[in-house]
Amino acid sequence: MKTSHFNSWFNRVEELLLVHQLDPAVDEDACILRSECSCALGLYNLRTYKALLPYQCPLHPYTPLLGRINAVYEATILATLSPAVLKTMLQPEWNADLRGLCQSFFNIRHQPLISTIARKISSSFYWNTSLDDIYSIEDGSSWFSLAVEVISQTPDVHATDIDRRTALIVLIHDAAFLWFYHPLQMGSRRYNIGKPLISMHRTLEAWLDAMRQVGVDLNDYGRREMELFRQIDLNIIRIGGWLDALRLIGITYGPRPEDWRIHIDEPTDGFAGEFWELIEDKPLPIPGAWIDE
């Protein structure tokens, strides 16, 4: 089904909801007890989300920040989430004190908000560059703008999650994960490292460009990231059976985004020595001759 068919269908549903919308009755006692945000539908589009909000989460304005942060976190993992919807779900704190919101997000989820944005940057690049246009449903430019906004207000761009991964490592991990694990990549393309590496470097360059726009020194950023990276052993993604897993072994960094390179250890790299031994130009043995010691 084409994207236009999806859009027209959803727009029609939205129109019907707006026409027949009723003001939900608000129970003041329920508002006091309200702690969880139940927003789960229409997250891909702000207009659709607002149309569905009175029905799926009528007490949303009274939901504490804790519940809304949890809902946003789940949405970034399980659903296609619009940057505009993310900001709306986290209002009024987003506009009032984004720096404080970043800290609250970390305290509640034990993951920096910047890492959550990095995950969406990876997925938006994947959907928009790897497959046909019918799957291009995430707006990469909007996520880029949001990344610039969040990075500028993040207390520590090197903050790590519970797995000791920085936002940069999350970005690279998710970019590789989508290419090698997503069901749409099953088949021969799954084991072709060339195209995924190109996409991963484009994703990385976009992330570094966002860093540079807010004044982050990319040399210093890369140096600190490598210090933290050496403290973990990161298997990017298992790609099946005896092939074991891809490993991120290092990052070359520099003052410009295009200076950076991702270095990956492929499972078959261990056989490189044996391969070159087999094809070395050695004298061919004569059948029945003595073997030289």
* Distance, CA of 246 to CA of 181 (rounded, Å): 12
Q: What is the pTM of this model?
A: 0.72
* Distance, CA of 84 to CA of 66 (rounded, Å): 19
Q: Do 172 and 248 meet the contact criterion of CB atoms below 8 Å apart?
A: yes
Cβ burial of 112 (10 Å; 0-12, 13-18, 19+) is buried
pLDDT of residue 21: 46
Q: Do 202 and 130 meet the contact criterion of CB atoms below 8 Å apart?
A: no
In eight-state DSSP terms, residue 147 is H
Residues 94-135: tens digit of each pLDDT: 999 999 999 999 999 998 999 999 988 887 766 555 444 333
The residues of the chain scoring below 50 in pLDDT are 1-6, 9, 12, 15-16, 18-33, 130-138, 183-190, 236-243, 271-272, 275-276
* Distance, CA of 132 to CA of 147 (rounded, Å): 25
pLDDT of residue 286: 62
Hey, what are 34's tokens? 């309200």
